[in-house]
C-alpha cells in the first residue's frame, strides 16, 4: 500500500532504529500491558515475527497466561513468561521494545522490571494520554491501533530487505490488533487506510472471520452464564446516560468463569439506547479495574486520566488499589464524577 507521508516518515525512523539495534546483535524483548488484549499482543507478536524473519532474535515477554480466545494465533514460540527468562541475561543483552504500552507499571512487576532495566527502548503506541518523544518513540493518537503502526514499520522493513517478511502468522497478529481496537471496524478510529491495511493482511493469510469469532463471539458455557447474569444487573444513572455493572470476585467463582469473560460488557452496555457512557468495575486480585466506553462526546481518556489511567476518547480505563478502596465506593465516586462530564 501507499503509506501516507506522515506515517512513512515515522515508520522509516523506527525502521532505522531497529537496524541500529540489530547491528548490536542483541535480542529484542517485546513488552505489553497486563490484561492483554488483541492489539498489544498483535502488535508485539507481529513485529517480533517480522524481526525474526529478518534474522533477529525476538520474543514477547508476558506475566500471565494468554486467554483461550487467542489460541488460534499460535503464539507459543513467540511469547515467554518473564519468570522463565534466563537470570543470567542482563540489561546489556537485550533491546526493550514496547507496543501499545510504554509505562512499566502497566506491564506487571516482572515485565516492568525488565523494561526499566533495559537500555534505549523502542516504543510504538497510539494512546493520546502518553507524552513521550525521541528518535525511538512513535506515538500517534490518530491511528486505529498500535498494530496498524507496526504494520507500516514492517512494510518499510520489507522494502529495505527486498523480500517478504510479513508471513501468515505476522499477518494474523497485525489484523487481530486492528480488528480489536476498531471493534470490528465499527469505531470512529476506523479510516480508509485502516481498511486497506486489513485487506492486505487478509491477502497475506489473516482470516478475519476466525479472528472476529474468537475475539468477540466465542464463550465457554461458564463465561456465557456470567455475562448473562451481569447483563441482568446493569444499572442506569443520570437519566439513562450512564450504564454500569460491578463485578466482584465471588461472581467469577460462582460461575467458574475466567477474568476475560466480561471483556464484551463495556461495549454491550454502551449500546443501550440513550447511554453515552458505560462503566464496568471489576475486582481483580490486587486492584479494582474500571473500563469505560462512550458513544459520541464523552472523552473517556481525559476522564480516566483524572483517576491516574488513560486510553482513547471512546475507550479507556484505570485501576485503583483494592486494599484502599471498596468497589461500591468506587462505583459511587465514578458515577458522580462522570455526571460532570455529561451534556
All structural domains of the chain, each given as residue ranges with its CATH number in brackets, are: 5-215 (3.90.1640.10), 220-339 (3.10.310.30)
Q: Is the pTM of this model over 0.85?
A: yes
* % of the chain surpassing 90 pLDDT: 91
Torsion region of 123: left, alpha or beta (phi above 0 gives left; psi -120 to 50 gives alpha): beta
Confidence at 47, pLDDT banded by 50, 70, 90: very high
| Mean of the per-residue pLDDT values of the chain | 95
pLDDT at 129 over 70: no
Dig out the grid coordinates for 251 from the structure: 461472581
Q: How far apart are CA 193 and CA 238, in angstroms?
A: 38
Residues 6+ apart with CB under 8 A from 190: 144, 182
> What pLDDT, on the 0 to 100 scale, is given for residue 133?
82
Q: How far apart are CA 342 and CA 28, in angstroms?
A: 44
Instruction: Tell me what the mean pLDDT of segment 236-243 comes to.
Output: 98
Q: How far apart are CA 278 and CA 272, in angstroms?
A: 9
Residues 6+ apart with CB under 8 A from 185: 179, 194, 195, 198
Q: What SS3 class is residue 290?
A: strand
Instruction: Tell me what the mean pLDDT of segment 84-88 comes to.
Output: 95
199-231: pLDDT as tens digits = 999 999 999 999 999 999 999 999 999 999 999
**Sheet of strand 94-99: strand arrangement:** 79-81, 58-62, 27-31, 94-99, 122-125, 137-139
Residues 6+ apart with CB under 8 A from 260: 67, 69, 223
Instruction: Tell me what the mean pLDDT of segment 305-315 comes to.
Output: 90
pLDDT at 187 over 80: yes
3-23: pLDDT as tens digits = 999 899 999 999 999 999 999
Residues 6+ apart with CB under 8 A from 20: none
pLDDT at 87 over 90: yes
pLDDT at 138 over 90: yes
Q: What SS3 class is residue 216?
A: helix
> What pLDDT, on the 0 to 100 scale, is given for residue 132?
78
Q: How far apart are CA 16 and CA 31, in angstroms?
A: 20
Amino acid at each position: 500500500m501507499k503509506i501516507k507521508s506522515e506515517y512513512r516518515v515515522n515508520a522509516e525512523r523506527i525502521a532505522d532504529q531497529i537496524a541500529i539495534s540489530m547491528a548490536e546483535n542483541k535480542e529484542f524483548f517485546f513488552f505489553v500491558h497486563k490484561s492483554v488484549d488483541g492489539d498489544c499482543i498483535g502488535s508485539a507478536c507481529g513485529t517480533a515475527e517480522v524481526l525474526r524473519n529478518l534474522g533477529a532474535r525476538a520474543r514477547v515477554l508476558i506475566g500471565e497466561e494468554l486467554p483461550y480466545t487467542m489460541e488460534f494465533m499460535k503464539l507459543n514460540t513467540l511469547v515467554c513468561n518473564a519468570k522463565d527468562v534466563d537470570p543470567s541475561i542482563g540489561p546489556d543483552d537485550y533491546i526493550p521494545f514496547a507496543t501499545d504500552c510504554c509505562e512499566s507499571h502497566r506491564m506487571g512487576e516482572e515485565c516492568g522490571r525488565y523494561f526499566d532495566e533495559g537500555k534505549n527502548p523502542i516504543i510504538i503506541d497510539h494512546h493520546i494520554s502518553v507524552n513521550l518523544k525521541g528518535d525511538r518513540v512513535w506515538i500517534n493518537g490518530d491511528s486505529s491501533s498500535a498494530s496498524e503502526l507496526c504494520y507500516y514499520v514492517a512494510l518499510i522493513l520489507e522494502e529495505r530487505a527486498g523480500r517478504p517478511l510479513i508471513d501468515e502468522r505476522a499477518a494474523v497478529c497485525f489484523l487481530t490488533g486492528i480488528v480489536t481496537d476498531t471493534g470490528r471496524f465499527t469505531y470512529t478510529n476506523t479510516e480508509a487506510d485502516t481498511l486497506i491495511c486489513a485487506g492486505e493482511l487478509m491477502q497475506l493469510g489473516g482470516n478475519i472471520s476466525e479472528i472476529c469469532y474468537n475475539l468477540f463471539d466465542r464463550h465457554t458455557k461458564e463465561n456465557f452464564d456470567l455475562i448473562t447474569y451481569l447483563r441482568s444487573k446493569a444499572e442506569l444513572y443520570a437519566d439513562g446516560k450512564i450504564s454500569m455493572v460491578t463485578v466482584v470476585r465471588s461472581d467469577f467463582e460462582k460461575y467458574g468463569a475466567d477474568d476475560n469473560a466480561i471483556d464484551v460488557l463495556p461495549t454491550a452496555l454502551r449500546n443501550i439506547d440513550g447511554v453515552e457512557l458505560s462503566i464496568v468495575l471489576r475486582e481483580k486480585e490486587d486492584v479494582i479495574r474500571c473500563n469505560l466506553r462512550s458513544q459520541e462526546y464523552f472523552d473517556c481518556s481525559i476522564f480516566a486520566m483524572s483517576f491516574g489511567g488513560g486510553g482513547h476518547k471512546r475507550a479507556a480505563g484505570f485501576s485503583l488499589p483494592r486494599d484502599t478502596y471498596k468497589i461500591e465506593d468506587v462505583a459511587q465516586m465514578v458515577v458522580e464524577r462522570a455526571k460532570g462530564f455529561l451534556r
